[in-house]
Structure 1
């Protein structure tokens, strides 16, 4: 099934107005992992997210929050043995979950792309990296072999690989970690996808290399007018890189706001404690570690209630909704933090 522009426009015209304005919209997504005994474990619970065209949404949260599960679920491939049990993922006027596997593969290669944190695991060790980039261009852009290699070489230049002509013929084991990550970015962006997922793609890199790669990713995203979901465990990176930031905990989005609003006036207690984890203030860091002793697997009420220093009885009994406070600043909390 091929989606032409007229058909896309027709499909989008039948969507509710908020979905028409977004590059990607997720509604009521639920992902479960089965257990040998008992009820399945819920990794993502009734999650809603909107990402505007050309914008970068940062998704932050500690390990185990469900960030990678969300990334893979957008591509309709949650980590095994997880399965999507509910929800819609709207992209380009279409619910991706309703497409056949072949249609999804074409979308993933051409319009949707992901950058992973383990570049050596993504690259084929037996094929030169330039050929791997060119192959993606041949398959999805229908270029001939010569044009595809030229496209691959151009992408290596854009991601600032030193001596790109020579690196075209290099193998993955011949590249440093930073160069391998740049190759993966080149492969992800060679088809000018309209939506890119960066799944903790800069973790483990030297801070200087990390800064260079982030700058390259933002520049290429702007040039190609791509929207991006930028997943990271480091909330500090989002302050410099993202347009909006969503804070995730135990499979739920607890707060989402513009970058400035989130950092200048955080409203959820978890967001404040997460910021404290990266603070230079020892007392704040200790407060975070003390709060981390609680559990997140509640059967009712707020998922953060057992760790929250502001929790009341209502929090333990009734799950809060994600409510818009003002100007797109939304918080999932019965008692949002008020600051003068």
Structure 2
């Protein structure tokens, strides 16, 4: 593979990893939006705010958006589609929280004024530090506006310092969350780049033995693509007496910790492959990580005959062909299966006769 082709392949793998991370982020956000729907329904039964019809209409709109977002995610959207989905969802959530705030304008101490913080958190998770600052500013303005309106309905004038403090506080919270998310993403991108560029097999499986992640080197080493291996049991491809007969032994993982093993695996083409594996359990996260190197060539060499010894070098002062000389040593130490080397004529006794005088 040329340098240009290799760089293009690494770029393609990096873009694919970024897209997978963005998809996982959207899925996580929509899981929490589903939880927010049920929590809002329970809260609406307990406290309907100013108008109960307004609460349930807003929750109905949230339910429709949750179902629509899940349907869109199930269609495996591309990079452009996933960005549009995130922007539309963010705009819809801003509208929903504005409706919730507009339906609770009687009590200045109403905890509903904390809802804009969820917007700042959502923007930070979705777009990092810049997103946290932008959505934090919007959420701070919403919270400050709600506070001014509610206090004005009570004939209370809020000082300007109180209003600006709300805006600045929410912006700082959004920026802090976004900076943390951006740092985590940088570390993850670096790990993905190293993992995707590695020629070694890098795989993780959970404590049930199910493969969760694997790098592209699996296709070169085992013949299987990433999609074919993810979700399978890690024992399906192991051969021999070391084949696991169940999920990983937690007690053994705690006692032994990191391990270095060599196992025989089945290649997709049918032949066997020996892998030297470094196992690193992470019981707190519930995963076991493995880095494997193909040592099939070394195994075959160890199983075969040892290579012949290299002959010693002859002493420089000895004549070629003499006993112990260079040619004699090579002839004496030549393996039996090699053909005999041609020797010079004078060694075979066919020395030239001296010329008569005068010729």
> Rg larger in 1 or in 2?
2
Do the two structures share a fold, i.e. TM-score over 0.5?
no
Higher relative contact order (CA 8 A, sep 6+): 1
> Which TM class, normalised by the smaller chain length?
under 0.3
Give TM-score scaled by structure 2 length: 0.26
Give TM-score scaled by structure 1 length: 0.27
* Structure with the higher helix share, 1 or 2: 2
